[in-house]
Amino acid sequence: MESRKTEADHLEETRAKVLQAALPLVVFDGWSEQTLQEAITDSGVDPALARLAFPRGGVDLALAFHMEGDRQLAEELAKADLESMRYRDRVAFGIRKRLEIAAPHREAVRRGSALFALPTHAADGARAIWHTADTIWNGLGDTSRDVNWYTKRATLSAVYSAAVLYWLGDESEDFRDTRDFIDRRIENVMQIEKAKATLRNNPLGKAFMSGPGRIFRKVRAPGEDLGPTSTRK
């Protein structure tokens, strides 16, 4: 017996259909209200349901595009042979794979970057980039739940956003220059990680972590509650 679709299922289907119809239009009108209206008409979905799926109009349409790319990225990372790669190569692979997914719609990414650069939508853009970084780290099997959970995603967010901007202007064959740029940025990050490891093993670093640095021990990833009232097993 076929299970009934929930409201969330209907919204997800509507979101996917409208997004598919919108992608050819974004090149001309950006992630705008006009694009959304035309996509709703072209996709043939219920306009009222579409409004529930995209309550803020074009910006929600742009976010749906970004999240769909992250969903595809998670699938690609799940089936990739990551164990055969060095640590830094896994991170570079995640960034490159995300750009490969976006490549057929580079102009849509360009329009999205312009939209999220606006002060009114900057927070949405930051959350979208963070979500990509989180998707990559989760796909690579990151198990950190302390302050490193935040620093890893913040660092990768900076690398990924810089890579996107570089990629948007890259005209080299197969985006070779972008791949080199990513490798250089990750090398810089690895140097930072080495410096952090050196600090942790340094007597001064140990003294800091046992003194003022103890506050970082209380930092936990979202969903973590290790306080005295926690009932988590």
pLDDT tens-digit series, residues 176-191: 999 999 999 998 877 7
pLDDT of residue 193: 63
CB-based contact 181:166 (threshold 8 Å):
yes
CA–CA distance, 70 with 101 (Å, rounded to integer): 9
C-alpha closest to that of 219 among 157, 154, 133: 154
pTM: predicted TM-score of the whole model, two decimal places = 0.85
Domain boundaries along the sequence of the chain:
1-55, 65-218
What is the predicted pLDDT for the residue at 231?
38
pLDDT band with cut points at 50, 70 and 90 for residue 156:
very high
CATH code: domain 65-218 is 1.10.357
| CA distances to 113, 123, 163 from 126, in Å | 11, 5, 15
Distance (Å) of CA 81 to CA 14, 57, 84, 102, 141 = 34, 39, 6, 21, 12
Q: What is the CA radius of gyration of the chain?
A: 21
| Rounded Cα gap, residues 142 and 136, in angstroms | 9
